[in-house]
Amino acid sequence: MNPSGRPRLPRPLLAAAAAIAACSCAGFPGFCPYTSEPAPVPPELAGATLRLEQDAYLVTGKSPERCGGALASIEREIVSRNVVSGSTAGAGYFEDQGRSLEPLPAGATFTLRGVVGQRKHGLFAIDSGPGPLYYLLLDDAQGVRQVMGIASLGSGEAESTVSAWAGGRRVRELSWQYFERAYGQL
């Protein structure tokens, strides 16, 4: 008991809680709470060209949230206007990470090269769940790799940021719900 009459927590428990809190905030150098693995490309999108239907942003620089696996080396991320304007932090969220934003106009096209599911592990998953969160691997006309989280696609086809094209015709509008259904999570 402490002087106020409340039970005292054992010192090892306090030390463990402090260590967990420190790791959750700062992490260990070289430690990454994320893993990623390839996900199958839905058959109707195999070899598709993806076209921006709305203006978006290209964020350049290393993302601290993509530190492991196939996503770790990609330093170009396409995000929707809603991700930037709809978030509490706005552009500052990316700028605080040392990343920069530049406008990416509607009509830009990309080749779909794959889909990757990223999972968050351990106590780090408390804030958002283990996932997976899906990312599209895209190449621009110069062959430069980009990544786009399915959250940037919009929630439904009516507000989709991206459409898929094959053989000169529009296959469909893409949304995060489309991918959630394709991977059996809806």
Mean pLDDT across the stretch 179-183?
88
pTM of this structure: 0.77
- pLDDT of 103 over the 90 cut: yes
Tell whether 52 is covered by a domain.
yes
**pLDDT-based confidence at 70, cuts 50/70/90?**
confident
Our count of domains for the chain comes to 1
CA torsion angle for 15, 26, 33, 12 (degrees, to 10)? Answer: 0
Tell whether 103 is covered by a domain.
yes
Tell whether 123 is covered by a domain.
yes
Of the candidates 58, 123, 47, the residue with the CA atom closest to the CA atom of residue 84? 58
Q: Write out pLDDT tens, residues 78-90.
A: 998 887 876 656 7
Tell whether 14 is covered by a domain.
no
The residue segments making up the domain with residue 47 are: 32-182
Tell whether 141 is covered by a domain.
yes
Q: Write out pLDDT tens, residues 23-54.
A: 444 455 567 777 788 999 999 999 899 999 99
Residue predicted with more confidence, 61 or 27 = 61
